[in-house]
Chains A and B, each alone.
Chain A
């Protein structure tokens, strides 16, 4: 019996399917005792379940860090990590910080000097005086 291919056409998703989130892990550290962790504790209690559910591709770890300020640490697939101290922040602000770490690329922050950057080489190539039309002075 000959093998038959599946008669289906791939869905065009405009490159969305190829995207891989750079953040692979988020660590949430808190302290049970300190007052600076109040917002973090509230975030972990109330907001974290929905946040974790919305981002299934990110591993989330929650662990105490006694007598220290609360911290969110992001681990990225380029091997770098980013940590944000969220002491005395409200749960909404902590949610914004978590989103920031989630969307970050993991690279060091760089100043963008030019409006367009590309990793592709120029199609036209470098200008040369020996090529092209004969130039008349």
Chain B
């Protein structure tokens, strides 16, 4: 190869890789050792004189051109500094090594001495305590750690029970309206006693012409009215400030009552919601309006608490009557099938027909093989030929 051509060849030469293996030019560039770049220009096959020297000679026309031997001023600043530092560093490193070995030897001797002085403990006294670290999680649970959810643990799913929840909430909110008490106080009592619940259940609701809640309740009897008014006065607390002491006592009583009710309910009907009642007696409450925002909020809060279903904000905004709330929860429980196959599988018109077949999945050629009874044969043949496993 001529020197001029060789200068152009910046890639790995054939000496470094075998010629038989094909290597693309990019890879050859990558594989080329870096120091070669500078040297490639300097080296020549015929003699060791670098190209710069040969150029100088040609320019001057003599074999010994005048000028410096190294035209670039000798070694750089960094190179000179590096050469100076190297011997000093080597000396320091050797000293450090000596110190480290001495320390290691001393430590190993101390360990040996400690092992000889070890005595096994016979009692726990004086030993460091392991385990309880005084954190919150290590302490036994206190009263404040207990958590009781606002809603029911198990959601109500049957439509009758949903109606019961809505009816109870409507009667309670109506009672609070008539008593002129804070409406959301009804949520303080999660579950009433069975007798109280029965009275609430017997109450009917006849919404007036104006759609007012205050006069909507129709009591089954005078005694029931008295009892309910008394109970809900206790729950709501007295509004008059002159009887502040009494109200405090009443509130305490109410709390006690509610606790007692809770206990009873836990003992008697632990898993049965609404004491086994299946449905409401009348449907008058469904047409109660939810125009007033405070009433709407109170009703939906109580309804959520009793039924265990949350209602999203856009839905709450669009609700106009109690019936719509019940209907929404019922529809949310039984969503329409999104897939047509599910709809057709449930439709009575097609299920009764013997000539209709509905598939939920796409039918592939393999399904056809299976239907015709040749799938097994095909698979066995493929397996025998080693084409499938």
B343 engages A64 (CB within 8 Å): no
B338 engages A53 (CB within 8 Å): no
Chain B residues within 8 Å of chain A by Cβ, number: 20
Hey, which chain B residues are within 8 Å of A60, CB to CB?
Answer: 353, 355-357
B355 engages A58 (CB within 8 Å): yes
- Taken together as a complex, chains A and B put the C-alpha atoms of A41 and B343 apart, in Å, by 10
A63 engages B361 (CB within 8 Å): yes
Q: Which of B350, B360, B361 sits near A48, CB closer than 8 Å?
A: B350
A32 engages B338 (CB within 8 Å): yes
1/0 per residue, CB under 8 A from B, across A62-98: the answer is 1111100000000000000000000000000000000
Hey, which chain A residues are within 8 Å of B356, CB to CB?
Answer: 48, 52, 60-62
B350-364 contacts to A, CB under 8 A, are 350, 353-363
Hey, which chain B residues are within 8 Å of A107, CB to CB?
Answer: none
- Taken together as a complex, chains A and B put the C-alpha atoms of A18 and B350 apart, in Å, by 28
A56 located at the interface, meaning its Cβ lies under 8 Å from any Cβ of chain B in the complex: yes
B126 located at the interface, meaning its Cβ lies under 8 Å from any Cβ of chain A in the complex: no
- Taken together as a complex, chains A and B put the C-alpha atoms of A61 and B363 apart, in Å, by 10
A103 located at the interface, meaning its Cβ lies under 8 Å from any Cβ of chain B in the complex: no
- Taken together as a complex, chains A and B put the C-alpha atoms of A98 and B359 apart, in Å, by 19
A45 engages B340 (CB within 8 Å): yes
Hey, which chain A residues are within 8 Å of B340, CB to CB?
Answer: 30, 32, 41, 44-45, 64
- Taken together as a complex, chains A and B put the C-alpha atoms of A30 and B362 apart, in Å, by 10
Hey, which chain A residues are within 8 Å of B359, CB to CB?
Answer: 61-64
Chain A binding surface SS class: mixed
Hey, which chain B residues are within 8 Å of A64, CB to CB?
Answer: 339-341, 359-362
B357 engages A53 (CB within 8 Å): no
- Taken together as a complex, chains A and B put the C-alpha atoms of A64 and B341 apart, in Å, by 8
B349 located at the interface, meaning its Cβ lies under 8 Å from any Cβ of chain A in the complex: yes
- Measured CB to CB, the closest approach of chain A to B343, in angstroms, equals 7
- Taken together as a complex, chains A and B put the C-alpha atoms of A60 and B355 apart, in Å, by 6
Q: Closest B-chain residue to A53, C-beta based?
A: B353
Q: Closest A-chain residue to B359, C-beta based?
A: A63
- Taken together as a complex, chains A and B put the C-alpha atoms of A52 and B340 apart, in Å, by 17
A132 located at the interface, meaning its Cβ lies under 8 Å from any Cβ of chain B in the complex: no
B353 engages A65 (CB within 8 Å): no
- Taken together as a complex, chains A and B put the C-alpha atoms of A65 and B360 apart, in Å, by 10
Chain B binding surface SS class: loop
Hey, which chain B residues are within 8 Å of A32, CB to CB?
Answer: 338-340
- Measured CB to CB, the closest approach of chain B to A11, in angstroms, equals 26
- Taken together as a complex, chains A and B put the C-alpha atoms of A96 and B356 apart, in Å, by 19
- Taken together as a complex, chains A and B put the C-alpha atoms of A136 and B238 apart, in Å, by 135
Hey, which chain A residues are within 8 Å of B344, CB to CB?
Answer: 44-45, 62
B221 located at the interface, meaning its Cβ lies under 8 Å from any Cβ of chain A in the complex: no
Q: Closest B-chain residue to A46, C-beta based?
A: B349
B210 located at the interface, meaning its Cβ lies under 8 Å from any Cβ of chain A in the complex: no
A65 engages B362 (CB within 8 Å): yes
B347 located at the interface, meaning its Cβ lies under 8 Å from any Cβ of chain A in the complex: yes
Q: Closest A-chain residue to B351, C-beta based?
A: A49
Q: Which of A49, A50, A57, A62 sits near B357, CB closer than 8 Å?
A: A62
- Measured CB to CB, the closest approach of chain B to A93, in angstroms, equals 19
Hey, which chain A residues are within 8 Å of B341, CB to CB?
Answer: 62, 64
- Taken together as a complex, chains A and B put the C-alpha atoms of A57 and B37 apart, in Å, by 87
Hey, which chain B residues are within 8 Å of A44, CB to CB?
Answer: 340, 344
- Taken together as a complex, chains A and B put the C-alpha atoms of A86 and B205 apart, in Å, by 54
Q: Closest B-chain residue to A65, C-beta based?
A: B362
Hey, which chain B residues are within 8 Å of A56, CB to CB?
Answer: 353-355
- Taken together as a complex, chains A and B put the C-alpha atoms of A65 and B359 apart, in Å, by 10
- Taken together as a complex, chains A and B put the C-alpha atoms of A66 and B344 apart, in Å, by 17
A-B contact pairs, 28 of them (CB 8 A): A30-B340, A32-B339, A32-B340, A44-B340, A45-B340, A45-B343, A45-B347, A48-B350, A48-B356, A49-B347, A52-B353, A52-B356, A56-B355, A59-B357, A60-B353, A60-B356, A61-B357, A61-B358, A61-B359, A62-B341, A62-B344, A62-B356, A63-B359, A63-B361, A64-B341, A64-B360, A65-B362, A66-B362
A binding-site residues for B, Cβ under 8 Å? 30, 32, 41, 44-45, 48-50, 52-53, 55-66
What are the 8 closest A-B residue pairs judged by CB atoms, nearest first?
Answer: A49-B349, A63-B359, A60-B356, A63-B363, A62-B358, A52-B356, A61-B357, A52-B353
Given A50-B349, A62-B341: 12 more A-B contacts, CB < 8 Å:
A45-B344, A48-B350, A52-B350, A60-B355, A61-B358, A62-B344, A62-B356, A63-B359, A63-B361, A64-B339, A64-B359, A65-B362
